[in-house]
Amino acid sequence: MENQSTGQGMFTWDGESWLSDPEDAFGFRASWKVKKVLYRELSSFQEVSVVETVGFGRALVLDGIVQTTEKDAFIYNEMITHVPLAVHPEPERVCIIGGGDCGAAREAVKYPTVQSVDMVEIDPKVVEASLQYLPEIAGHGEPDSRIRFHYEDGTAFIRNRQGTDDVIVVDSSDPVGPAAALFEKPFYQDVYRALASDGIMVCQSESPVFHPHVLKRVHRTLKELFPVVRTYLAAIPTYPGGVWSFTLASKTYDPLEQGPERLQAGANRYIDRDVYQGCFRLPVYVKELFTDR
């Protein structure tokens, strides 16, 4: 396969201690004190690394950007997975686009009604590295037998499905490279078609502080397709600004009406009924993104 990685995002590591995310448009960059680089390979799509940080445990780094850390991956994975799975009364077929760290898949199989989880990750090396070096996130031992791995572009995978999935989770990286198409209307139209008549999708919709234009566009585009669209937030220290957004789009069920009683909350570390109810209450600067002005 053609190598699509530009290598431009490769992380700067001074060989002793500090790894720096690439500087963004705000002149803001995070730096991580690193003890050790455990894995570092150039795949067909990106540079894939796992590092041992001083304070956040092990971290998955793609093209120089820290994607997830052992310290707070549970927050992201519980929020992107449990909300749609609790809103749907009987989720059986789940599809995850991206999500190569396997954390979302691991949460999805906590729901006893779930019969299959199709995990569609473009880069097998991310899954390989996560299963080997990030067991705290990906899980210890063999993945649950309900999880089926597909190594292909999520846009192509979803294009060939119709009315199949109860829940589609778009656990993508930032909207650059192969992930850019996962934030565009043609993909969302295909997701709509792939969902069952009462299906639900959720995507990570970036930081309302650093990427409000992305969140605004995702929300507006989904509104053109789905009758119910709800954005919710979580505090995730690893991501720039700490506040992260998710946007849920549903053909039938409204998370504000269904209530959180189906949440499989026993083994969770972040989401419970209180968090579920609170996460849809948005600050004014976020609500303003969704008003027509």
Query: Footprint of ligand SAM on this chain (CB under 6 A)?
Result: 62, 67-68, 76, 97-101, 120-123, 126, 153-155, 171-173, 178-179, 182, 204
Nearer to ligand SAM, 166 or 174 (CB): 174
Task: State yes or no: 123 annotated in a binding site.
Answer: no
Neighbours of 266 (CB within 10 A): 7
CB of 252 to ligand SAM, least distance (A): 26
178 annotated ligand-binding residue = yes
Residue 62 or residue 168: which is nearer to ligand SAM going by CB?
62
User: Cβ 63 to ligand SAM, closest distance in Å?
Assistant: 10
Q: Quick one: tokens of 255?
A: 């998370």
Could you confirm whether 171 is annotated as catalytic?
A: yes
Of residues 236, 233, 204, the one with CA closest to residue 75: 236
Q: What's the min distance (Å) between Cβ of 7 and ligand SAM?
A: 15
Was 288 annotated as part of a binding site? no
Q: How many CA atoms lie within 13 A of 85 on its CB side?
A: 30
Closest to ligand SAM by CB, 84 vs 154, is 154
Measured from the CB atom, the residue of 52 and 153 that comes closer to ligand SAM is 153
Residue 107, CA atoms < 13 Å, CB-side half-sphere: 30
The single residue of 171, 254, 272, 292 carrying the catalytic annotation is: 171
What dihedral do alpha carbons 102, 107, 109, 110 form, nearest 10°?
160
How far, in Å, CA of 68 to CA of 58, rounded? 9
Alpha-carbon span 81 to 60, nearest angstrom: 19
Catalytic residue numbers, as ranges: 171
Residues contributing to the annotated binding site for spermidine: 101, 171-174
